[in-house]
């Protein structure tokens, strides 16, 4: 990993380098995605079957595109029973955490004949995209479905690309069944996003699409936003560790690599006030890389987006961390809770040397679908809030409106919206003659 002294210039350079990974910088793929979406919108299932044959090298039909209950039960027979138990334990934690996020409708009334409020309603139908390809992530299945279930979504439709044998990965199916998916379809890529956004003969149109995917999926979600809602445009994984001389260099190195192994665009950054720690972490990283299974991916990730930054003091380190606004942030310092209070921008914050990032990925309960590419400055983790909508409630009696109707008429007239003013005035035209 490259080691540099932390300055405003180095922070700026790193930010510019990290932003190169944003899906917004892959415009060359947009026309291909647009063509796929247009064809799915026009041809429906026919386009899905053709693209699945072209990209996934397998055939699906109207009869086989939907995963059957028999296929799900077959998947249970192929997954280690101990893993199924771990999935169920994780589900308890994830569900419990998200249940605390529930919001209720509220109403308040006054003695003057008014009532105001907010009505909270779950979305009717949500699409969950689950990637296939390089790796399988049943943990992401749980994280995307559970908050929707807790919110009260009526129908959860999952899509995921099939393998060349025409089947879906067994652990993905088991996780989906355990979490509560209502329908599962064998289709992936931009074509799956199009199917969820527009609807086809087999796949129903949804209200919102959530879930990570490759650049084609990310760009497709961006393109259909407006037809449906989306969670976010996910970028490559990131970790930033804030550490001082009290940190265990072996732990820090291991945690940095936990994200670097995701893909070649993943980012792993250590910001520390200790030159000695920086040196030891670099040594530990080199040792781990030699024995880890995804060595080539890790090396490429660290070469392009791996940094060890040495800060003059913790305040400077925290300022830089807030500028980078990482997806995952670990705080391993003498006083981690004090540092945590000064952190403004991070998707998830892990406190202390035994709260490593994978704890959040799999088991603790908080959602691991997090803002990336600096968007933690204005976005939040996926939550129950993403699966509800809110309606304002307004009630005024004639008496209550009568007291303030002239104020509204004046306000509307000032904007030259005479029909607005008339809508109020007509109710009191006899009194105001």
pLDDT digits (tens, 9 = 90+) for 95-114: 999 999 999 999 999 999 99
At 18, the pLDDT band (50, 70, 90 cuts) reads confident
pLDDT band per the 50, 70, 90 thresholds, residue 232: confident
d(CA 73, CA 82): 16
134: pLDDT strictly greater than 70 = no
Tell me if residue 208 falls in helix, strand or coil.
Answer: strand
The one catalytic residue in 178, 238, 316, 327 is 327
223: pLDDT strictly greater than 80 = yes
What is residue 23's predicted lDDT score, i.e. its pLDDT? Answer: 65
| Per annotation, catalytic residue among 98, 262, 328, 405 | 328
* Average of per-residue pLDDT across 297-304: 93
So what's the pLDDT on residue 241? Answer: 98
Active site residue 183: no
352: left (phi over 0), alpha (psi -120 to 50) or beta: left
Residue 433 in this model has a pLDDT that exceeds 90: no
Nearest to 401, CA basis, from 108, 115, 107: 115
Q: What is the mean pLDDT of residues 283-301?
A: 94
pTM score of the predicted model: 0.92
Residue 144 and residue 94 in contact, taking contact as beta carbons nearer than 8 Å:
no
Give per-residue burial for 105-141: e unless 16+ CB within 10 Å, then b: eeeeeeeeebeeeeebebbebbbbbbbbeeebbbbbb
DSSP H or E run through 3: strand 2-5
Active site residue 328: yes
CB count within 10 Å of CB 96 equals 12
List the beta strands (DSSP E) in 202-266.
208-210, 229-230, 238-243
pLDDT tens profile 305-359: 999 999 999 999 999 999 999 999 999 999 999 999 999 999 999 999 999 999 9
Residue 226 confidence class, pLDDT cut points 50, 70, 90? very high
Cross-strand pairs, 128 = 158, 210
Is a pLDDT exceeding 90 seen at residue 1? no
| Residue 133: pLDDT band with limits 50, 70, 90 | low
The tokens of 228 are what? 């449906």
pLDDT for the residue numbered 213: 87
pLDDT of 27 over the 80 cut: no
Query: In this predicted model, what pLDDT tens digit does every residue of 360-387 receive, in sequence order?
Result: 999 999 999 999 989 999 999 999 999 9
How far is residue 385 from each of residues 120, 168, 283, 368, measured CA to CA in Å? 10, 30, 43, 15
Q: What is the mean pLDDT of residues 281-286?
A: 96
**C-beta separation of 231 from 207 below 8 A:** no
Mean pLDDT over the full length of the chain = 94
Question: For residue 146, is pLDDT > 90?
Answer: yes
Please give the structure tokens belonging to residue 245.
């001389």
Report the share of the chain in percent with pLDDT over 70: 98
Q: Which residues have a Cβ under 8 Å from the Cβ of 200 and sit 6 or more positions away?
A: 40, 44, 45, 47, 48
């Amino acid at each position: 990993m490259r080691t540099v002294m932390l300055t405003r210039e180095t922070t700026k350079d790193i930010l510019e380098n990290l932003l190169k990974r944003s899906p917004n910088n892959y415009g060359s793929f947009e026309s291909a995605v647009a063509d796929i979406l247009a064809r799915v919108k026009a041809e429906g299932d026919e386009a899905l079957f053709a693209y699945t044959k072209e990209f996934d090298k397998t055939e699906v039909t109207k009869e086989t595109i939907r995963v059957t209950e028999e296929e799900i039960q077959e998947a249970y027979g192929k997954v280690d029973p101990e893993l199924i138990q771990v999935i169920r334990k994780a589900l308890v934690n994830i569900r419990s955490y998200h249940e605390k996020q529930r919001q209720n409708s509220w109403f308040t009334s006054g003695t003057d004949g008014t009532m105001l409020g907010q009505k909270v309603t779950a979305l009717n139908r949500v699409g969950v995209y689950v990637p296939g390809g390089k790796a399988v992530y049943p943990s992401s299945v749980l994280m995307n479905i559970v908050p929707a279930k807790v919110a009260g979504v009526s129908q959860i439709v999952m899509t995921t690309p099939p393998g060349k044998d025409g089947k879906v990965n067994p652990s993905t199916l088991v996780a989906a069944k355990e979490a509560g998916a209502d329908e599962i379809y064998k289709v992936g890529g931009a074509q799956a996003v199009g199917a969820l956004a527009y609807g086809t003969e087999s796949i129903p149109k949804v209200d919102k699409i959530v879930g990570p995917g490759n650049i084609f999926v990310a760009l497709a979600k961006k393109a259909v936003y407006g037809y449906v809602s989306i969670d976010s445009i996910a970028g490559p994984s990131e970790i930033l560790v804030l550490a001082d001389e009290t940190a265990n260099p072996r732990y820090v190195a291991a945690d940095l690599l936990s994200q670097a192994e995701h893909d070649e665009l993943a980012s792993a950054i250590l910001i520390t006030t200790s030159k000695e720690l920086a040196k030891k972490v670099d040594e530990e990283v080199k040792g781990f890389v030699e024995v880890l299974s995804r060595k080539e991916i890790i090396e490429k990730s660290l070469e392009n987006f791996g940094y060890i930054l040495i800060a003059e003091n913790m305040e400077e380190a925290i300022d830089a961390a807030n500028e980078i606004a990482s997806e995952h942030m670990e705080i391993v310092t003498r006083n981690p809770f004090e540092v945590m209070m000064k952190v403004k921008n991070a998707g998830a914050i892990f406190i202390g040397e035994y709260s490593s990032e994978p704890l959040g990925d799999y088991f603790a309960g908080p959602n691991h679908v997090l803002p990336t590419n600096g968007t933690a400055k204005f976005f939040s983790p996926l939550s129950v809030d993403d699966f509800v909508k809110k309606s304002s409630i307004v009630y005024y009696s004639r008496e209550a409106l009568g007291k303030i109707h002239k104020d509204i008429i004046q306000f509307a007239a000032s904007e030259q919206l005479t029909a607005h003013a008339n809508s109020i005035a007509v109710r009191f035209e006899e009194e105001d003659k």
